[in-house]
Structure 1
């Protein structure tokens, strides 16, 4: 029997890689040959290159901005170069199928896949499709959605709702290991703060300014993003990390409440783990507003409280965290009624269908 070949793509943020990280091990177990096309400097390279059995290929990629920038004149050429590079890789590897998680690196890959006649499957995590996926959808055979409502924004003949793909290892966390990693020595409520894979200066500042008020009642795990550690802060009950990968499952096992951005992959993982959330979505000034829609969808279902970035201050953060703590039991009760569908198995099945 010949070995099946598959190419994965997606990047720019950790959210554009997490679903790939969830399903790559399943294809490895079944003996598929796996290649990954990503950017030269994106977070996807850090996350994927260490994986055993996965060959990483870096291509040129341009960010397609919605605003004016001098880079806008260079980026179409970067995308063309990336398309040519992806065309060569696909021609050499001859995959049966390509799976894309979105992000701007995926656009040249999907165009090249169409040119090579290789079927491609896209997974859209957000409530409404991002710009990169909007550009790539015409070149895909199938588009899978996390939110049921997303189907309304997709071509009917390609769209299918699958639900949220959650990494299995997150369910294997150990609370005792989390205590060892953090050094927490009491039974205070544990608050996990995450500002997305790049971190958020505004959230970091508000959290650090709120420490005097919060630390008497909370232990705080602060994942603050690359180069955002504040070495001057040394407080009992407060630990900070740039980024966490291996230990994340143990830190989540220890966590009672989460304060986070509202990227779809992350919030569905918190939901699957029954962690009440305070969501601070990226503002419309800094994004297309997808996180705002994600956050309010979760708020409406009773899984989260929302604090808009424009309203974020030290005082509003303290009030919101204390309110979340008061309503923890009610929120957890609503979360237990959510059943993560067998999304991962469904995605794998649909990828294999296209590979036929």
Structure 2
């Protein structure tokens, strides 16, 4: 089977790009990636027309059996992908849509006048979402095509040679690995670390990612003379694995419309305690206090208290590391997800 998939640029740090980079070598079918959306230093509005033209060219001459449109429930992506879906419909190519991110304000606007959205997206043969709540909301506004709950992935290669029994329960380094944007909670992370550092001077914070809050974060660290905070910028591949290996607790106080943060799953697989917010798909599986903490607030004090809780309970931290690793290996490995999606796409071509 030959499948065309739209994907974001792999040169822009993000969960969806990471997801499809990790799946690339595991597809049990012939997959072509078609890059859409913003590139590094080039906004999506500039790339829209050339992306559309190349997509149309591939539909005309690529002889694809199915298309997977990777989208997000935000204003620009849902308009763009409605056009892509119409093109696929014209060429009678069975198409699935995968909504990764979710913006509640956009959903409310669509809900107030859903006819156009419903008409466009009921052309799909299948819709993927990352959280059961998103599936219910789509059904409420009139989407009648099958909606499947799926997950993002952990690369099989990331886990090669990893031994979770080496996690002894001591915490020396906290990891923030995401876009360095305010909505991802970088400012909350640094202020929480600042409070904990006063009691635990050995503690380090590793910040990985580029974004619009990075300059402000660096300035704050400099002005407050906060020691042992390292900014690594954009990281990938072996460097990501090294950061997970050297850290014991992962923090992501995100207010972003997450579908399922890949970095959370990767942190679990690598045996880290996870502190994050109850946003998107984590709500469907996260076991409070057994995997870490889902913290509703964005108050640095709440994250500082949670960090201290795990710093002071070595046995709990060690058990959490082992449980997270086992759970992630059983549920999130890329090879299993690729096979499952291939089976789904095969089925929509036979309808």
TM class, shorter-length? 0.5 to 0.7
The answer to whether structure 1 residue 258 and structure 2 residue 258 are counterparts is: no
- Tell me, in whole angstroms, the C-alpha distance in 2 between the residues paired with 1:340 and 1:88: 37
Structure 1 residue 41: Cα displacement: 3.1
Secondary structure of the 2:122 match is helix
Computed over aligned residues only, the root mean square deviation of the Cα atoms, in angstroms, reads 4.3
Match of 1:242 among 217, 229, 233: 233
In the alignment, which residue of structure 2 is the partner of 1:216? 201
In the alignment, which residue of structure 2 is the partner of 1:140? 124
Secondary structure of the 1:245 match is coil
- Tell me, in whole angstroms, the C-alpha distance in 1 between the residues paired with 2:161 and 2:206: 15
Structure 1 residue 192: Cα displacement: 0.8
The 5-angstrom pairing of residues 268-307 of structure 1 reads 268-280=265-277, 291=279, 294=282, 298-300=286-288, 302-307=290-295
Tell me, yes or no, if the aligned pair for 1:144 and 1:161 is still in contact at 8 Å.
Answer: yes
Tell me, yes or no, if the aligned pair for 1:165 and 1:344 is still in contact at 8 Å.
Answer: no
The answer to whether structure 1 residue 100 and structure 2 residue 69 are counterparts is: yes
Structure 1 residue 89: Cα displacement: 4.6
In the alignment, which residue of structure 2 is the partner of 1:15? 15
Normalised by the length of structure 2, the TM-score is 0.66
Bigger relative contact order (CA 8 A; separation at least 6) = 2
Q: Taking structure 1 as reference, are residues 271 and 101 closer, same or farther at Cα in structure 2, changes over 3 Å only?
A: farther
Secondary structure of the 2:71 match is coil
In the alignment, which residue of structure 1 is the partner of 2:166? none
Structure 1 residue 127: Cα displacement: 9.0
In the alignment, which residue of structure 1 is the partner of 2:39? 41
Structure 1 residue 191: Cα displacement: 1.3
- Tell me, in whole angstroms, the C-alpha distance in 2 between the residues paired with 1:208 and 1:322: 10
Normalised by the length of structure 1, the TM-score is 0.65
Q: Taking structure 1 as reference, are residues 188 and 20 closer, same or farther at Cα in structure 2, changes over 3 Å only?
A: closer
Deviates more, 1:320-329 or 1:155-164: 155-164
Q: Tell me, which stretches of 5 or more residues in structure 1 are unaligned? A: 46-57, 63-77, 176-186, 282-290
Q: Taking structure 1 as reference, are residues 138 and 278 closer, same or farther at Cα in structure 2, changes over 3 Å only?
A: same
- Tell me, in whole angstroms, the C-alpha distance in 1 between the residues paired with 2:106 and 2:158: 29
Match of 2:191 among 187, 196, 206: 206
Structure 1 residue 278: Cα displacement: 0.9
Structure showing the higher helix proportion among its residues? 2
Tell me, yes or no, if the aligned pair for 2:204 and 2:229 is still in contact at 8 Å.
Answer: yes
Cα offsets for 1:56-81 (capped at 9, x unmatched): xx97489xxxxxxxxxxxxxxx7x99
Secondary structure of the 2:26 match is helix
Q: Taking structure 1 as reference, are residues 273 and 196 closer, same or farther at Cα in structure 2, changes over 3 Å only?
A: same
Q: Tell me, which stretches of 5 or more residues in structure 2 are unaligned? A: 164-169
Cα offsets for 1:165-185 (capped at 9, x unmatched): 32223213779xxxxxxxxxx
